[in-house]
A = this chain, B = another copy of it.
Amino acid sequence: MLMRTAMHPISSRQTATVGRNGPPPRHHASGNSLDLMGAPMPFARNVEIYGEDEPAEYLYKVVSGAVRTYRVLNDGRRQIGAFLLPGDIFGLEAGATHGTSAEAVADSVVLVIKRSAVMALAERDPDVARQLWTLTAQELGRAQNHMLLLIRNAQERIASFLLEMADRVAGGNSVELPMSRQDIADYLGLTIETVSRTLTQLEAEAAIALPTSRRVVLRNRSALSELNA
């Protein structure tokens, strides 16, 4: 059983992790307590932002583009745990090292925030501590939902994915997907072929339209919601 999956592509070679190149220049960004003192940093498509088991020196917030976090099995099978979209925070760890790897799905800009600064703040301010905890708890909730997703059939997984993306991207019923079919497959625990076929099938059933391969129009949300169970 060796389901084809992206065998962590070019990324491992063209790594551009912050930690290795030294910290980015400081920069002030006003906003919520966790938006403090971050430096915006560009990452090209498929470039690694951090690797599993690397020391968690920074945490991150997506400004533009999209990011995937994932883990890889010995034999190369990849499970994408989350897609992060603008506004989403990622790479926040309670422990010393990252539990997943992260890569830019498309050309992206990411706010890079020093973990030590936030941790020091949390030490003194219970509200900040609570926010950190809450962020981790939300990620846990997402992970638990994702487990439920992985026991459903292909149509249900795709429907769920499309509804999720439509809700998060906020463009009404028309969504421009930032990720490839392979990314979707590795997020949903399916093969690229099954993803493609299922999308075609949903189009045939008039649940969606596919003007281009990356653009999806939800034509019948309630049909998708029923699949979403």
- Which of A8-16, A42-50, A125-133, A205-213 forms contacts with chain B? A125-133
User: Taking CB as reference atom, which chain B residue is nearest A140?
Assistant: B140
Contact of A150 among B100, B122, B151 (CB under 8 A): B151
Copies in the complex: 2
Which B residues are CB-close (under 8 A) to A150?
147, 150-151, 189
Q: Annotate A177-203 by CB proximity to B: 1 below 8 A, 0 otherwise.
A: 000000000000100000000000000
A151 with B77: CB separation less than 8 A: yes
On chain A, which size bracket covers the interface?
A: 35 or more
Which B residues are CB-close (under 8 A) to A81?
144, 147
B136 with A147: CB separation less than 8 A: no
Q: Annotate A76-100 by CB proximity to B: 1 below 8 A, 0 otherwise.
A: 0101010000000000011100011
Which B residues are CB-close (under 8 A) to A138?
94
Complex Cα–Cα for A22 and B140 (A): 29
Does A74 count as interface, using CB distance less than 8 angstroms? yes
Given A73-B152, A152-B73, CB of A143 within 8 Å of CB of B133? no
Complex Cα–Cα for A79 and B24 (A): 43
Which B residues are CB-close (under 8 A) to A137?
93-95, 136
B94 with A151: CB separation less than 8 A: no
Which B residues are CB-close (under 8 A) to A77?
151-152
Does A169 count as interface, using CB distance less than 8 angstroms? no
A94 with B134: CB separation less than 8 A: yes
A147 with B143: CB separation less than 8 A: yes
Interface residues of A (CB under 8 A from B): 1, 3, 71, 73-75, 77, 79, 81, 93-95, 99-100, 122-124, 126, 129-130, 132-134, 136-141, 143-144, 146-148, 150-153, 156, 189, 229
